Amino acid sequence: MFERIERVPGDAILGLIEAFKKDTNPQKVDLGVGVYRDDNGNTPVMRAVKEAETRLLKSETTKTYIGSHGAPAYGDAVLPLVLGADSPVLEADRASATQSPGGTGALRLAADFIAKQLPGKGIWVSDPTWPNHHGIFTAAGIELHKYPYVDADNRLDFDGMLAAIKKIPDGDVVVLHACCHNPTGFDLSAEQWQTVLDVVRERNLLPLIDFAYQGFGQGLDEDAYGVRLFAEQLDEVIITSSCSKNFGIYCERTGCLIAVAKDAEQKDNIRSQFAIVARENYSNPPAHGSAIVSEILHDAELSAMWRDELTEMRDRVNTLRRDFVEALKPYGLDKKYACVGEQRGMFSYTGLTPDQVERLRDEFGIYMVRSGRANVAGFSQQNLPYLARAIAVVND
Ligand code: PMP
C-alpha cells in the first residue's frame, strides 16, 4: 500500500534554514525563521525560566498525568495575564482555560470543537495569515475562506477587510490576530478593533482571536487591547494563547485555549467539550512548560524578572525597526520602507518583491521567505549597514 504514497515538498522555511547553513558567505543574515534572536543571533533561555526550572527540579514530586485541562495553577495564571488582572469577565466567571501543546495545539482544539459542535460553520482568516491556520482548520474539516488584509502598496487594507467581514455569513467564525500579525506586522488600532467588533456583533460572528505574541508588540496589557475589548463586550469569544514566544519556551509546547461565554454555566458546558477534544487528540498536555509559567507568574520576584526580560526583547525589536529605517535614509529609501518602523512584533512584510528576495539571497546571503516577510529579530546593529546597502542594490 505504501508504494502509492507520494513525497511532498518540505516546509519552505526548513529549506531556507538548510540553504542558510550551507552558505559560506561570512556576512550571511538569516531573516527567515520565526524565533526571537538576541544581538548575537542566539535564542537564549530566559533567566526567569532557568530560575523557575531550578526551583521545579527541587520541588517536583510526581510525573503523573495532569488532566485534560492541564494544570489548574497554569490556567489561574494565564487567564488574568490574557484578560487582565481585574477583568470583569473573570469577575463574572465567564472564562475558562484549557492548557494545550502550544498555540498550535490550542488552535487545533478550537478547530475540532468548531467542526464538532458548530457543524457547517465556515472560518475566515486574513490574507495573508500564518500558513498553518490553513492547515489546522482544513485538517479539522472546516471550510476555509479569506478576507483581505494588505493592499497592493503593502499597507493594512482595513477598508477591504471590513467590507469582506461585513459579508461573512451569519454565525461563521472569524480569525483575528490579537497583535503582531504574522506575517505582516500590521496591527489594528483601538478604533479599528471597535469597528470590527461592531460588525462581528451585527453579523453574529464568532471571533477566534489568536494571541501568539503577547508582550512582543507594545506591552503585555497594550497587546491584549482587542482581546479584552471583545471578551468584555461580546458574549462569546474563543482565544488561543501561546507562551512559546513571550516565555521563550518554544520547545516546551505551552499554550492555552480560552472560552469566553455568556455565563458560568455555558462556560462550563463548553469547557467540558474542550476536555473531550483534548482527550481525543493527545489525552493530557505536557506538564513542564506550564509548570514553568505558573512558577513564574505566581511568584512576584520571578514575574518581575520575566517582565523585565520580555521588555528587553520587545524594546530590542522595536529599536531595530527604527534603526533599519534610519539605515536606509542615506539611500533615499527610508520612506519606501517606513512601514517596517510602524509594524509590530517579530515579523515584517517589508514590501520586497520575490525577485528582490531572490537577489538578496543569491548576491548577499540574506535569507527571508519569498513573500518578503523578514524576522526583525534577525536584524542586529552589526548587520544593519550591510542589509541597507544590499536593499539599496536590489532597488536600483
Ligand atoms: N499563531 C501564530 C499567528 C503564530 O505565528 C504561531 C507561531 N509561529 C502560532 C500561532 C503557534 O505558536 P506555538 O509555537 O505556540 O504553537
Q: Is residue 58 part of a domain?
A: no
Residue 9 cell numbers, joined: 515538498
Q: What is the pLDDT of residue 249?
A: 98
Pick from 33, 82, 182, 258 the residue to mutate for probing ligand 1's pocket: most ligand atoms within 8 Å of its CB: 182
Q: Is residue 4 part of a domain?
A: no
Alpha-carbon gap, residue 106 to 178, rounded angstroms: 15
Q: Is residue 9 scored above 90 in pLDDT? A: no
Domain count, the chain: 2
Q: What is the pLDDT of residue 280?
A: 97
pLDDT band for 15, please (50, 70, 90 cuts). confident
Bond from prior residue into 80 cis (ω within 30 degrees of 0): no
Q: What is the pLDDT of residue 33?
A: 82
Q: Cβ distance 336 to 351 under 8 Å?
A: yes
Task: Point out the ligand 1 atom lying closest to the alpha carbon of residue 104.
Answer: 16
130 lines ligand 1 (CB under 6 A): yes
Could you tell me what percent of the chain has a pLDDT over 70? 100
**ipTM score assigned to the predicted complex:** 0.99
Q: Is residue 266 part of a domain?
A: yes
244 lines ligand 1 (CB under 6 A): yes
Q: Is residue 50 part of a domain?
A: no
For range 86-97, the mean pLDDT: 98
- Whether residue 358 sits in one domain with residue 272: no
Residue 193 annotated to the active site: no
The label of the residue with cell 498553518 reads 132
Q: Is residue 303 part of a domain?
A: no
How many Cβ atoms are within 10 Å of 285's Cβ, its own excluded? 29
- pLDDT tens for residues 65-87? 999 999 999 999 999 999 999 99
How many Cβ atoms are within 10 Å of 25's Cβ, its own excluded? 12
Q: What is the pLDDT of residue 13?
A: 81
Order of strands, sheet of 123-127, starting from the edge strand that comes earlier in the sequence: 95-100, 255-260, 237-242, 206-211, 173-177, 123-127, 144-148
Mean pLDDT score of the chain:
96
- Domain range for 371 is 12-44+312-392
Pick from 100, 186, 210, 348 the residue to mutate for probing ligand 1's pocket: most ligand atoms within 8 Å of its CB: 210
Q: What is the pLDDT of residue 31?
A: 96
Q: Is residue 53 part of a domain?
A: no
- pLDDT tens for residues 375-394? 999 999 999 999 999 999 99
Task: Point out the ligand 1 atom lying closest to the alpha carbon of residue 254.
Answer: 15
CA of 241 to the centre of ligand 1 (A): 9
- Whether residue 289 sits in one domain with residue 334: no
- Whether residue 73 sits in one domain with residue 37: no
- Whether residue 207 sits in one domain with residue 286: yes
Catalytic residue, from 112, 124, 130, 223: name it. Answer: 130
Q: Is residue 201 scored above 90 in pLDDT? A: yes
Side chain identity, residue 250: Y
CA of 337 to the centre of ligand 1 (A): 26
Q: What is the pLDDT of residue 10?
A: 78
- Whether residue 286 sits in one domain with residue 228: yes
- Whether residue 101 sits in one domain with residue 38: no
Residue 130 annotated to the active site: yes
Q: Is residue 79 part of a domain?
A: yes
For range 331-339, the mean pLDDT: 96
Catalytic residue, from 112, 157, 187, 210: name it. Answer: 210
Residue nearest to atom 6 of ligand 1 (CA): 212
- Whether residue 71 sits in one domain with residue 192: yes
- Whether residue 292 sits in one domain with residue 320: no
CATH of the domain at 340: 3.90.1150.10
Q: Is residue 322 scored above 90 in pLDDT? A: yes
- pLDDT tens for residues 175-193? 999 999 999 999 999 999 9
- pLDDT tens for residues 253-263? 999 999 999 99
CA of 242 to the centre of ligand 1 (A): 7
Of 264, 298, 332, the domain-final residue: 298
3-class secondary structure per residue, the chain = CHHHCCCCCCCHHHHHHHHHHHCCCCCCEECCCCCCCCCCCCCCCCHHHHHHHHHHHHHCCCCCCCCCCCCHHHHHHHHHHHHCCCCHHHHCCCEEEEEECHHHHHHHHHHHHHHHHCCCCCEEEEECCCHHHHHHHHHCCCCEEEEECECCCCCECHHHHHHHHCCCCCCCEEEEECCCCCCCCCCCCHHHHHHHHHHHHHCCCEEEEEECCCCCCCCCCHHHHHHHHHHHHCCCEEEEEECCCCCCCHHHCCEEEEEECCCHHHHHHHHHHHHHHHHHHHCCCCCHHHHHHHHHHCCHHHHHHHHHHHHHHHHHHHHHHHHHHHHCHHHCCCCCCHHHHHCCCCEEECCCCHHHHHHHHHHHCEECCCCCEEEHHHCCCCCHHHHHHHHHHHCC
pLDDT band for 156, please (50, 70, 90 cuts). very high
- Whether residue 101 sits in one domain with residue 212: yes
128 lines ligand 1 (CB under 6 A): no
Q: Is residue 3 part of a domain?
A: no
103 lines ligand 1 (CB under 6 A): yes
Task: Point out the ligand 1 atom lying closest to the alpha carbon of residue 130.
Answer: 3
CATH of the domain at 222: 3.40.640.10
- Whether residue 104 sits in one domain with residue 26: no
Of 272, 298, 324, the domain-final residue: 298
- Whether residue 325 sits in one domain with residue 286: no
- Whether residue 357 sits in one domain with residue 265: no
Of 266, 298, 330, the domain-final residue: 298
